[in-house]
Chain A
């Protein structure tokens, strides 16, 4: 009885979250005649699957995809390594300046992006990085405050006794990071990797500012190009949106099992 109630509520609520996505998908496969019909067409009379290929071929989306993949893969690797190292440093050591530095780290999250944007552009310009993918990749190797905070909170739920036992066995600080905390925080790392993947994959402002040539564009820039000056190509926007959602969605579906059902609870008992 209680389970039935719970599932009914979940189905109802999830419908609210899925409906707009359903609507986008249907818009992508509708004929142009049914696009603006009222009352809205919820189930198209004919399915135009060719809309996907047509939208993909309107711009060099193959090139965009390659660029997006380079950015996403390289920056995710950097983010995982750097953020976990820094989080471990803050969670497990006492050193002069730790607390002020950590407050500084938190403070960097509160800096409106607008503040840094213009100076950053000038800095990357000086380095000759404008119109390359570097501004979208390299900063990820220097840890992100949001992820450091998340991982630090996670490490702090692990009892200190585990570290001490390892130290008694002769492990040094890096061993403890590498052999104990890295495996223990795997679920949180998958969470960080997934979040970063989505951010990098969906990033719009970064590519918009740092890239000029169409040959360097990422997928989101290509998508925004459909919002032309004169008309908005609704079918192509919807079709590319659907395609763009699939990789992060697939990744999330695989990752969420690992994040949630991983060995979190059992190893943290202490």
Chain B
């Protein structure tokens, strides 16, 4: 199958060299990531795992405590469970909304031609704004007395609530502010929609397949890989939610927006208990990892890859 032109070198040597090249090639291609993984991920990770087994203050004596950080976190720290529950609630609402709304917006944008550039840019606008500015804007919007939102609500006769001061509403406010940044997800899905061959729809229309069936049997399966991608990255970003909550509500009122990432952050930078914080971040890592693997496994049922390397392909890809 090797069709390279015969050169001056003997056949056997050439075959041997190409065998090595064939074996090494994939590793060469992925080597940038492997090196980066060792130096910028695995190294720091091992270090933080070590820290999690220590009582590790910023200054002063470090003492090995084994699993004590994990034990006291799981069994004696109610804040761990509360912040985890708040984060799970947030993710359970944010993730589906983020994907469904992004998908619907992407579908709408996919079907227009006039001013499509304007609308894409408009929906992506919030994603362009830096975190510091974003939070400043939202605190103006949510302000009880001077806020844009309550001013609007007053037109329809609603006496606007204290968005950031009410424990039940503050988390809603943060979900809305987070969903405002769905531009990235929408863009990924729109790219996916554009990549679906038009011929599939043309053939379906000619055969009299109704629109809803084209959606179920063409659009959704073809978009599978991209949907899976946004599903997983949404879960990850939901669990790491920190900036907005930290700057907008500082975890309050009454701890109602005290996210798990903030719990870790406080242990590290407020109580300077690095070992405990490291243990917390490892718990978060494991939870997100298990959730994502679960989604990946489940996705095998509904994701279809056109160019997938299957078992019966033999070594044609080697």
Contact = CB atoms under 8 A, between A and B. Distances in A.
Given A6-B108, A153-B225, A160-B307, A241 B151 contact: no
B133 interface: yes
Interface in B18-34: 23, 25-30, 32-34
A9 B239 CA distance: 31
A202 B37 contact: no
Nearest to B34: A101
Contact of A115 (B188, B243, B278): B278
A191 B187 CA distance: 9
Contacts of B187: 191, 256, 259
A137 interface: no
B305 interface: yes
Contacts of B33: 82, 86, 105, 142-143, 145, 148
Contacts of B119: 10, 14
B109 to A, nearest CB: 8
Contacts of A238: 136
Interface stretch (A16-24, A44-52, A53-61): A16-24
Nearest to A187: B191
Given A108-B37, A110-B236, A170-B5, A115 B285 contact: yes
Nearest to B36: A142
A261 to B, nearest CB: 8
Given A115-B281, A150-B229, A220 B32 contact: no
B128 interface: yes
Interface of A: 3, 6-7, 9-10, 13-14, 17-21, 23-24, 27, 36, 38-40, 82, 85-86, 88-95, 98, 101, 103-116, 118-120, 122-123, 139, 141-143, 145-146, 148-150, 153-160, 163-164, 167-170, 172-173, 177, 187-188, 191, 195, 198, 201-202, 204, 220, 223-224, 227, 232, 234, 237-238, 241, 244-245, 248-249, 252-253, 256-257, 259-261, 264-265, 268-270
Given A40-B146, A115-B44, A150-B188, A159 B307 contact: yes
B229 A149 contact: yes
B123 A17 contact: yes
Contact of B151 (A40, A187, A268): A40
A245 B128 contact: yes
A118 B316 CA distance: 45
Interface centre among B28, B36, B119, B293, by most A CB within 10 Å?
B36
Given A6-B108, A143-B33, A264 B261 contact: no
B10 interface: no
B171 interface: no
B112 A160 contact: no
Interface string B121-147: 111111111111100111011000110
A47 to B, nearest CB: 20
A195 B289 contact: no
Interface residues of B, number: 108
A24 B133 contact: yes
Contacts of A252: 121, 124, 128
Contact of A7 (B112, B131, B180): B112
Given A14-B118, A20-B138, A115-B44, 7 more contacts: A119-B51, A157-B225, A191-B191, A202-B130, A232-B136, A244-B130, A260-B191
A94 B197 contact: no
B105 interface: yes
B281 A114 contact: yes
Interface string B266-300: 00100000100110011011001100110010000
Given A139-B36, A241-B129, A195 B184 contact: yes
